[in-house]
Structure 1
Amino acid sequence: MENFHTQCVDALHAVRTHHPLVGAITNSVVTNFTANALLAIGAAPAMVDIPGESGPFAAIANAVLINLGTPTPTQCEAALESATSANEAGTCWVLDPVAIGPLPVRTQLAHQLVALGPSIVRGNPSEIIALAGLGEGGRGVDSADAVDAAIDAARHINSEYGSLVAVSGKSDAIVSADAIVRVEGGSDMLTRITGAGCSLGALAGAFASVARTQLDGLVAVHALYAAASEIAAERARGTGTFQMEFLDALDNFRDEDFERVTIIAQ
């Protein structure tokens, strides 16, 4: 990935041109924000999260997010059905193992799902460490670990299951079989609104499904998120207006806005 800026621009244009259909089995706290974020970038959201529908939908979607933020028994069944169907159809799917480690139901489900080989795993450092079986997780949805502390865990998941792994924090690290790509930038205000990380998982699916490669798409969406959050923070008066400005920043994002962030391959 020699020219990150060009590849980010190309990935964004692909999303806006192809309008990927993204299914989301996600948590009840963030459904609305996730759908609006997908619409803002030009994707088409569909919150299909019941058994009997999640599988058939995964087969026709461009991407699927499985987010474990508020797992109901129905959602747990739908998640496994969706992941299995996505694999059979070759659909890009993203696992976001929210708050695993200390909470047994979602932790068991996360391990079942990662064994199916997600295209992408996205989480905070503590979630990634717990998913790799190398730690106990964080405090609820908050991470107790730094991004660098999760790199070995991300490598383990990539090696074991073939998934690209995105570790989110003050800077983001994206781990593939061949490289670690770091995306530096963004506003701390993302941590003060609900749904930022969860929506990122959905957007990651949208980008990865239509970009030249899934890695290109994953890097681009993290750069987009970081830059858009900076733009929003400059205009916001507090957390309420930040959320609104963030959606507007996604909607009005310009090619040159990618230049706000630093992207480094290791």
Structure 2
Amino acid sequence: MQFNSLDAFLNARPPEFTKGPSAMIFAEDEVEIDSTLRHHHKAGFKSVILLAPPSFRIARDVQPWTTRVDYDLNRGDRIEEAVTRAANIAVGAWLYYCYNAEYLLHPFCEHRTVGEMLTFHGEERRDAMLTYVVDLYAGDLDQAPNAVALDDAWLDKSGYYALARKDPGNHGYPKERQLDFYGGLKWRFEEHVPPDRRRIDRISLFRARQGLRMNPDFTFNDEEYNTYACKWHNNLTATVCSFRAAKALKRNPGSTYEIDTFRWHNSAPFDWTSSQLLKLGLMEPGQWF
């Protein structure tokens, strides 16, 4: 199914999307679109939506279960507008969003679907889930000049930290159960990354409702959605494993010639398992057994 605009898609209110859980994949370029779609379909999302320019091609095997929406982030369309408007037509459904060449992994995802996880999360009276965007990068930039290599992916095994999220409306005091998280390539190469784009936390999974609005910094207008856990105990978190920062650093003329490799002494091969991310502390199982 294909829609020639976001308006057309929202007006159609596809039943599988409004029921959820649904994944919205925003394509900035044509790198690994197909693998991104396949990964999230396999994860258990009932509806997978590709928001991309009509010129971007996808493989035949993903076409039957992918809904296409013409949407061009490179020509002024904004991800926060699409997510906000989608949340207002899929009330009660769980939604997820990411960019191409980004892959959601959650605790025990090898054996449990994203739908099972979200059912459990909702039973804990949570309507949103914190995700950490963990940077992936190719181990050999000579073989992968765009820094993307699924079969030779690496990640940082340390160097992550959190700072209190200050509330400008309350004299700069820290917000309750909210933190700003940093690390990965945006930390190691921060001189090439604007300060407002260095955080690695997103609320990538959330329950849609009327009046919910996503902000440009990946937070929501409901402060409870932005918390990492409830007041009673730790909750589940998940990880978005992303080549996006590596791609940008190699594409940017101001940084590409200064980077011969992304690997350093704290790099490790990524094995594409949730157990590796759990051991590194890059996701939290909470009460999810």
TM-score in terms of structure 2 length: 0.28
Higher relative contact order (CA 8 A, sep 6+): 2
* Higher radius of gyration, 1 or 2: 2
TM-score in terms of structure 1 length: 0.29
Structure with the bigger percentage of helix: 1
Structure with the bigger percentage of strand: 2
